[in-house]
Amino acid sequence: MKKYLITGFSGFVGRHFLNYLHSLNEEIEVCGVDIRPPAFELSVYEDRLRISFQVVNLLNYDELKVVLAYFKPDYILHLASFSSVAYSWQHPEECFVNNTNIFLNVTTALKEIGLKNCRVLSVGSSEEYGNVTPESLPLREDRPLVPVSPYAVARVSQEMLSKVFADNFDMQIILTRSFNHIGPWQDERFVVPSFARRVLNLKAAGASAGEIETGDTTIVRDFVDVRDVVRAYDMLLTRGRAGEVYNICSGKGQPLSEIIASISDIVGIKVTNRVNPAFVRPDDNRAMIGSHDKISGELGWQPEIPLRKTLEDMIAEMS
Amino acid sequence: MKKYLITGFSGFVGRHFLNYLHSLNEEIEVCGVDIRPPAFELSVYEDRLRISFQVVNLLNYDELKVVLAYFKPDYILHLASFSSVAYSWQHPEECFVNNTNIFLNVTTALKEIGLKNCRVLSVGSSEEYGNVTPESLPLREDRPLVPVSPYAVARVSQEMLSKVFADNFDMQIILTRSFNHIGPWQDERFVVPSFARRVLNLKAAGASAGEIETGDTTIVRDFVDVRDVVRAYDMLLTRGRAGEVYNICSGKGQPLSEIIASISDIVGIKVTNRVNPAFVRPDDNRAMIGSHDKISGELGWQPEIPLRKTLEDMIAEMS
């Protein structure tokens, strides 16, 4: 029986990863850990998966070590992080230290317990690339990293440490730089579900047309369906090369304005947007697009769910 | 009166920096902090400098903040670090966390106290470059960094954070990547004084020829006199550009075998070396040579003390 430990279990990606494991119809045992319990029901998965959940503060080394020593995972999907870029500006030291410390706690515990064969997927972010020029798109993994926020620096540090640990302590750590993932159940503070919610609210209010307030909608981002993402994560956990980093992205750039247009079309009302300068982030990249050639070439992963389908599913779930 | 705070004050570089400030014959106040008191006498400097020393554990934020708030430095030379690469292999987590934490404690305290104009020189290492190819020599600052030890990752992280803080919080942080510095008073565990000590021991025993045990002496390193280094540090503190990193190096590569030959020649006995495979580090770079074009071009710094003179002064001090 394969054993997966998932940190940051209670979030949006943890839930989709659990869904994915459930779909495999294999003998799998899952231990979820998070600082808060999941808001979703575990019972719907228990027909095929053996699942337990533990409240664990990953900053507390002893708590974490007990869970790892007891569960002895074959795979760790390390989703947990202090992932708000905005928060990292308010509390740069705390954000940096906490992100690197929870990662170091995981690796130290694995070494101390002697779980040398446990494979760890450390989930990073396209934020690591920092400010990029149009000529450098689509971004490949060998692109120099110029992190521009404390959060991004923490992620790059974690990557460099992983590489050192993989090369020198034979640890099986695989890394991602994940681009904007979207899908059902995403927190509505994120940009795409926030657009969708506001358009749905206009519809619910009986409007046939309306306006929403946004930041700069000409910026281009690489949106990838979270269900494609979790499939990539399992491929990397089971078959990725230790010490290597892989982009997870759609490979396509989408202006935010087109996302709004698609949402309007799906919901069936005419929506325009008005730019509120307060929402425009001056340092934002104009465009971020990744290349998934590395994971496609090595493992055959391809994004499969078209953006239109992702948006339809999100709106159906939110309606 | 200019006020300098020096962390890691009690070490070899701190002493030389104090010497340099003393030589300026200006109105200068110095506050040295270190976890241990200096082994050298402060009284010899007190004719021209106003000096105080405080035992401070930089991992203790409150201790550090009190000192900074009281002294209100114009300049901080941040020499303190957990700088042993070897120790970083035995305790990678501790090395990484401690290095980044002391740096974050300094920056956080500066922000909290509101010392916005204080200029900080954060001293890094050529270790940050990691494994380099012969074609990439001499190493320039824009070279991609591939840190290969936990110590080196900590240094690169500190650099990236400094850049983010300089760009976004208007902090006056300037950075170095310092190559192997040598000179009088250096700890004899370091390679060059360790050679010198053993040759001097042979001489003291009355030998006219002898043999010392070494690692691989065909490797090439860039040795720069510590007195040139501290002059560069003061230039950078007073005139370097915030958020920028500068190599401090001689620009020349020296095989260790030539160092031994020069020491033999200065001491006046014939010394050969025998390679002990136990001392050979398998992952060492064959050659590390830096380029100092950036600091030379921007600030006019040049290394001035020839290697022969450095070795003569070291041997005179050790004799």
Q: Do A156 and B160 touch (CB under 8 A)?
A: yes
The token pair at B309 is 């003179």
Q: Which CATH number is A2-182+224-251+289-299 given?
A: 3.40.50.720
ipTM (interface predicted TM): 0.83
Torsion of CA A88, A90, A96, A98, to 10 degrees: -100
DSSP H or E stretch at residue A61: helix A61-71
Here the tokens at position A54 are 């533990």
Give chain A's end-to-end CA distance (angstroms, integer): 38
pLDDT at position B149, please? 87
| Contact call for B92 and A165, based on CB within 8 A | yes
What tokens appear for A136 in the block?
């450098």
Q: Which of residues 167-186 of B touch A (CB under 8 A)?
A: 167-168
Closest residue of B to A107, CA-based? B93
Distance CA A45, CA A160 (A): 36
Taking the CA of residue B270 and the nearest CA in chain A, the distance in Å comes to 40
| Average pLDDT of the residues in A71-81 | 96
What are the beta bridge partners of residue A211? A272
**B150-177 in b/e burial notation, b at 16+ Cβ within 10 A?**
bbbbbbbbbbbbbbbbbeeeebbbbbbb
pLDDT given for residue B116 in this prediction: 87
A184 three-state secondary structure: coil
Tell me which of B99, B157, B162 to substitute to probe the interface with A (most A C-beta atoms closer than 10 Å).
Answer: B157
Each residue's pLDDT, cut to its tens digit, for chain B (319 residues) gives 999 999 999 999 999 999 999 999 999 999 999 999 999 999 999 999 999 999 999 999 999 999 999 999 999 999 998 777 778 888 888 888 888 889 999 999 999 999 989 999 999 999 999 989 999 999 999 998 989 888 899 999 999 999 999 988 899 999 999 999 999 999 998 999 999 999 999 999 999 999 999 999 999 999 999 999 999 999 999 999 999 999 999 999 999 999 999 999 999 999 999 998 887 776 678 899 999 999 999 999 999 999 999 999 999 999 9
Q: Residue A282: is its pLDDT beyond 70?
A: no
Q: Which of B104, B160, B164 sits opposite A97 (nearest CB)?
A: B104
Of B100, B150, B161, the CB nearest to A164: B150
* 3-state DSSP assignment of residue A175: strand
Domains A2-182+224-251+289-299 and A191-220+253-288+307-318 share a fold: no
Mind telling me how many Å the CA of A147 is from chain B's nearest CA? 7
- Whether the Cβ atoms of residue A55 and residue A32 lie closer than 8 Å to each other: no
> Rounded CA gap, B100 and B157, in Å?
7
- Chain A positions touching B97 (Cβ under 8 A) are 97, 100-101, 104
If one counts every other C-beta atom within 10 angstroms of the C-beta of residue B216, the result is: 17
* Cβ–Cβ below 8 Å for B156 and A153: no
Nearest CA in chain B to A167: B148
**CA-based nearest residue to B162, from B177, B154, B173:** B173
Following DSSP, what letter does each residue of B46-79 receive, concatenated? Answer: TTTEEEEEEE--TT-HHHHHHHHHHH--SEEEE-
Measure in Å the smallest separation between the Cα of A124 and chain B Cα atoms: 16
Taking the alpha carbons at both ends of chain B, their separation in whole angstroms is 38
Which CATH number applies to B2-182+225-251+289-299: 3.30.70.1250, 3.40.50.720, 3.50.50.60, 3.30.70.1230?
3.40.50.720
Question: Is A153 near chain B, with CB under 8 Å?
Answer: yes
Contact at 8 Å (CB) between B177 and B171? no
Q: CA–CA separation, A275 vs A295, rounded Å?
A: 37
Q: Cβ contact (<8 Å) for A96 and B108?
A: no
Q: Which of A9-13, A283-287, B230-234 has the lowest mean pLDDT?
A: A283-287
Residue A251: pLDDT over 70: yes
B contacts of A147 (beta carbons < 8 Å)? 160, 164
CB neighbours (10 Å) of residue A79?
22
Under an 8 A CB cutoff, do B150 and A161 touch?
yes
Peptide bond preceding B306 in cis form (omega within 30 of 0)? no
Fold of B191-220+253-288+307-318: UDP-galactose 4-epimerase; domain 1 (3.90.25)
Cβ–Cβ gap B150/A167 under 8 Å: no
Q: β-strands A220-221, A172-178: how paired?
A: unpaired
CB pairs A-B closer than 8 Å: 67
Interface test with A, best of B89, B161, B281 (most A CBs within 10 A): B161
> Chain A, 227-266: which have a CB under 8 Å from a chain B CB?
none
Distance from C-alpha of B6 to C-alpha of B14, rounded to nearest angstrom = 7
Look at B160 and A157 and tell me if their CB atoms are within 8 Å. Answer: yes
* A281 or B217: which leads in pLDDT: B217
* b/e map A205-218, b = 16+ CB within 10 Å: eeeeebebebbbbe
Q: B74 or A151, which is more confident?
A: B74
Residues from chain B contacting residue A104 (CB–CB below 8 Å): 92-93, 96-97
* Angle formed at CA A150 by CA A144 and CA A151, multiple of 5 degrees: 85
Q: What is the pLDDT of residue B283?
A: 67
The pLDDT score that the predictor gives to residue B282 is 64
Closest chain A residue to B95 measured between Cα atoms?
Answer: A104
| Closest among A131, A289, A269 to A204, alpha carbons compared | A269
Residue A18 above 90 pLDDT?
yes
| Domains of chain A by residue range | 2-182+224-251+289-299, 191-220+253-288+307-318
CB A175 within 8 A of CB A215: no
